[in-house]
């Protein structure tokens, strides 16, 4: 006898948070007793300052750098990984922000200003169709003001009905996303009456299957009886996980009840904070296994004075993000002088600001206890991506940062350096570490050699 996922899911009725931790049904869903593995991709545009991002030494326990310092706290450094030497060549060699936006998550060849393949978030999410309420979630901050057309506006691509792919806009409005995700949890964080009813229905289904096992056991012997007992154990584990959701799945506080303009620079921080609250809670509630959080567009028009004037991220009198990124002629902060030095200082400060946001998200995830008794962060991975290595549009030696290790499937607290490997290999590694099929390579054919084996634990 084989227990099907259809049997286990019967009675759930489509309520979003009533699908907790059902990964026991096979390889994609994890083994009994294991927590789900999850990944969130954070995008910020215009690259970094390579020498202020990259650790000076390769190997375990690298020293903090000016940009990564916010992630090097005692709580987070054990989860931190820097990956250097990865190129982003799959787009086709026209080094622009448009090309970078199209290929940074797809590792595909550009067709015009758009990608030709799906992105890593939707590729992972497809594996959880029918397992979690949402295959993937796309959160945005200030993404509706692209200076050069639609290609600057999104990093996610999905399969299109009838063939090909299409870009998917992130959701900039946190109020809209809040209603979409948490309508079935009461205001005090407890399950709603409808959710309680659905959980009860699901338990009765599981109890029925256990009774069926007992009846069958009387007619079986040997290996068949042992297999039947394994199924009964699996079902009991599922019941325990259904109970865990009552204490683990907590509705986040709705920090914003109105948003004047999602494009206003002054709303960047509060919108980002609420999005991060929702990402952490969505993972804890098992609403999804994969999410993206996109900050602004490629060639961003964001003005940092609007975000917070006290930050003083300026060069040559401008606080325009994309404008600052093109100020330096000399990109070496150890020898830069004058305006080059000022611009590199501003860009470094902006990137450290994003590292602070990532640290904040990681701590939110660390605050949730997972179904295995560890934290949600312990079983997750945060990946920081961008569309160009530095403001000069280069796409070689991209600054990839990761926080987390997917339940020990990946090494962490380490700097891994590569010799011109492609960023599709980074994505293939993540899919492999999550235990998903079909990730021997990722992206454009001939531009991915496969997983980065020295990152795998």
Domain boundaries, the chain: 35-185+249-433
Residue 219 has what pLDDT? Answer: 72
For 25-61, the pLDDT digits (tens) are: 333 444 445 899 999 999 999 999 999 999 999 999 9
For range 206-226, the mean pLDDT: 63
In this structure, the number of other CB atoms found within 10 A of the CB of residue 182 comes to 24
pLDDT score for 210:
55
Q: pLDDT value at position 18? A: 30
Q: In whole numbers, what is the pLDDT of the chain averaged over residues?
A: 83
pLDDT at 12: 31
More confident residue, 210 or 48: 48
Does the pLDDT of residue 76 top 80, yes or no?
Answer: yes
Mean pLDDT of 341-362: 97
Neighbours of 173 (CB within 10 A): 16
Rounded mean pLDDT, 230-249 = 49
Once rounded to an integer, what is the mean pLDDT over residues 9-32?
34
pLDDT-derived band at 186 (thresholds 50, 70, 90) equals low
Global pTM? 0.83
Q: How does residue 2 score in pLDDT terms, banded at 50, 70 and 90?
A: very low
Q: Of 396, 395, 364, 390, nearest to 377 (Cα)?
A: 364
pLDDT of residue 248: 58
Q: Is the model more confident about 431 or about 204?
A: 431
The CATH number of 35-185+249-433 is 3.40.720
The larger pLDDT score, comparing residue 392 to residue 200, is at 392
- Residue 402 near residue 373 (C-beta atoms within 8 A): no
Residues contacting residue 208 through CB under 8 Å, at least 6 positions apart: none
Predicted confidence (pLDDT) at residue 199 exceeds the cutoff of 60: no
Higher pLDDT, 186 or 25: 186
Higher pLDDT: 266 or 25? It is 266
Distance CA 11, CA 171 (A): 31
Confidence check: pLDDT of 452 > 70: yes
Residue 346 has pLDDT above 70, yes or no: yes
Q: Among candidates 31, 28, 34, 238, which has minimal Cα distance to 135? A: 28
């Amino acid at each position: 006898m084989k227990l099907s996922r259809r049997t286990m899911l019967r009675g759930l009725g489509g309520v979003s948070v009533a699908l907790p931790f059902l990964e026991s049904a096979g390889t994609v869903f994890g083994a009994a007793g294991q927590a789900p593995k999850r990944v969130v991709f954070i995008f910020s545009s215009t690259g970094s300052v390579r020498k202020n991002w990259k650790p000076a030494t390769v190997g375990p326990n690298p020293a903090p750098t000016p940009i990564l310092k916010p992630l090097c706290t005692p709580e987070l450094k054990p989860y931190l990984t820097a990956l250097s030497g990865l190129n982003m060549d799959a787009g086709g060699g026209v080094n622009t922000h448009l090309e970078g936006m199209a290929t940074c998550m797809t590792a595909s060849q550009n067709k015009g200003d758009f990608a030709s393949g799906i992105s890593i978030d939707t590729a992972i999410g497809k594996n959880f169709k029918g397992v979690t309420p949402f295959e993937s979630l796309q959160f945005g901050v200030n993404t509706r003001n692209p200076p050069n057309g639609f290609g600057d506006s999104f990093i996610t691509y999905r399969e299109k009905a009838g063939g090909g792919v299409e870009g998917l806009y992130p959701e900039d409005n946190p109020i809209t996303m809040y209603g979409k995700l948490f309508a079935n949890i009461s205001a005090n964080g407890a399950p709603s009456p409808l959710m309680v009813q659905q959980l009860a229905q699901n338990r009765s289904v599981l109890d029925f299957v256990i009774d069926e096992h007992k009846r069958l056991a009387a007619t079986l012997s040997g290996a068949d009886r042992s297999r039947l007992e394994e199924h009964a154990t699996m079902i009991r584990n599922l019941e325990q996980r259904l109970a865990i959701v009552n204490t683990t799945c907590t509705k986040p506080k709705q920090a914003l009840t109105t948003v004047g303009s999602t494009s206003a620079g002054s709303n960047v921080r509060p919108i980002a904070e609420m999005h991060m609250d929702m990402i952490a809670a969505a993972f804890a509630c098992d609403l999804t296994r994969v999410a993206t959080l996109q900050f602004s567009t490629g060639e961003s028009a964001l003005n940092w004075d609007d975000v917070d004037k006290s930050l003083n991220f300026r060069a040559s009198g401008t606080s325009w993000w994309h404008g600052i990124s093109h100020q330096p002629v000399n990109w070496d902060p150890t020898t830069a002088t004058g305006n080059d030095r000022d611009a590199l200082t501003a860009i470094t400060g902006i990137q450290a600001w994003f590292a602070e946001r990532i640290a904040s998200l990681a701590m939110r995830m660390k605050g949730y206890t997972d179904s295995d008794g560890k934290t949600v962060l312990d079983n997750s991975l945060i990946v920081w991506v961008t569309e160009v290595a530095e403001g000069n549009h280069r796409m070689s030696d991209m600054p990839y940062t990761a926080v987390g290790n997917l339940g020990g499937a990946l090494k962490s607290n380490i700097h891994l350096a590569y010799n011109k490997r492609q960023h599709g290999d980074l994505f293939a590694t993540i899919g492999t570490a999550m235990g998903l099929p079909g990730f021997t390579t990722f992206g454009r054919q001939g531009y991915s050699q496969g997983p980065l084996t020295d990152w795998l634990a």
